[in-house]
Amino acid sequence: MIPFACTAAALAPSFPFAPGAGAGTILVVEDEAFVCELAAEALLDEGYRVLTAADADEAEAILSSEQVDLLFTDIDLARNTNGIALAHRARRSLPRLPVVYTSGGRDGLSPTEAVSRSVFVPKPYRTAQIVAVTNDLLRSRG
């Protein structure tokens, strides 16, 4: 594993993109540092540029200053922030932003809670799952 702190940080792959690998910027919002590191590393290995935040406040600051192609967020975040509310606020300024929700305390989200065209991945997930979901969402976005 590569060491890095999962706070507001930008991580870029240090190798050329492999054929078919990801291209774009993913914002991973996760308050559990180890889980954040695993998700970010898997996406880095796929060729994505990865930004990380530990709560919705940090994520919103990143969304206002960086171009982000996909939001990957835990639902229950630190400092009483919430991934569902974060996604809704992000969609106000980025209406086509793909969103992947994750949670260890839920089995899913109702259509009224989630933003449209989003995906829920329950924890614990395999890193291959989040890579596949990310690739699919970004491919379908065009």
CATH class of 9-141: alpha beta
Q: Where are the domains of the chain?
A: 9-141
What's the token pair of residue 76? Answer: 């229950």
> Taking 50 as the threshold, does the pLDDT of residue 14 lie above it?
no
> What confidence tier does 21 reach under pLDDT thresholds 50, 70, 90?
low
What's the token pair of residue 98? Answer: 């793909």
Q: What is the mean pLDDT of residues 98-126?
A: 94
- Residue 51 CA to residue 9 CA, distance in Å, equals 5
Contact 11, 52 (CB under 8 A): yes
Contact 33, 4 (CB under 8 A): no
pLDDT of residue 13: 45
Burial of 128 (0-12, 13-18, 19+ CB in 10 A): exposed
> Mean pLDDT score of the chain, rounded to an integer?
87
> Taking 90 as the threshold, does the pLDDT of residue 16 lie above it?
no
Q: What is the mean pLDDT of residues 92-109?
A: 94
Q: What is the mean pLDDT of residues 15-44?
A: 82
pLDDT of residue 12: 47
pLDDT of residue 47: 96
Contact 100, 115 (CB under 8 A): no
Length reported for the chain: 142
